[in-house]
Amino acid sequence: MTTLTDAPAAAIGWGADDREQAVALLARVPGLADQSTDRRASVRAWIADLYPPPTQDLPWGDLQPDRLAERFLGRHLHTTPGLADQLTLAADPAQAIRLLTMYTRAVAHPVFTHRLDAALIELCVRHANVLAKPAIRTATQVEAPQPLLAALHRVLSSPDINTKTLQEWGNQPPRTSHALADWAVQLTACLVDNHRRRSNLPGLAMSLNNLSIRFGDLGRREKALEAITEAIQAYRHLTETQPDTFLLDLAASLNNLSIRLGQVGRQEEALETITGAIRHRLAEIRPVVHQKELEWSLAVMEWLRSTIDGDEGTR
What dihedral angle (degrees, nearest 10) is formed by the CA atoms of 228, 230, 232, 236? -170
Across 83-87, 266-270, 276-280, 287-291, the highest mean pLDDT is recorded for: 83-87
Q: What is the mean pLDDT of the chain?
A: 84
Residue 179 to residue 217: CA distance in whole angstroms: 12
Q: What is the pLDDT of residue 220?
A: 92
Residue 50 has pLDDT above 70, yes or no: yes
Residue 66 to residue 55: CA distance in whole angstroms: 20
Counting residues of the chain whose pLDDT is more than 90, the rounded percentage is: 53
H-run or E-run covering 190: helix 181-197
Beta strands in 172-302 (DSSP E): none
Per-residue pLDDT band at 253 (split at 50, 70, 90): confident
Q: What is the pLDDT of residue 254?
A: 79
Q: What is the pLDDT of residue 107?
A: 92
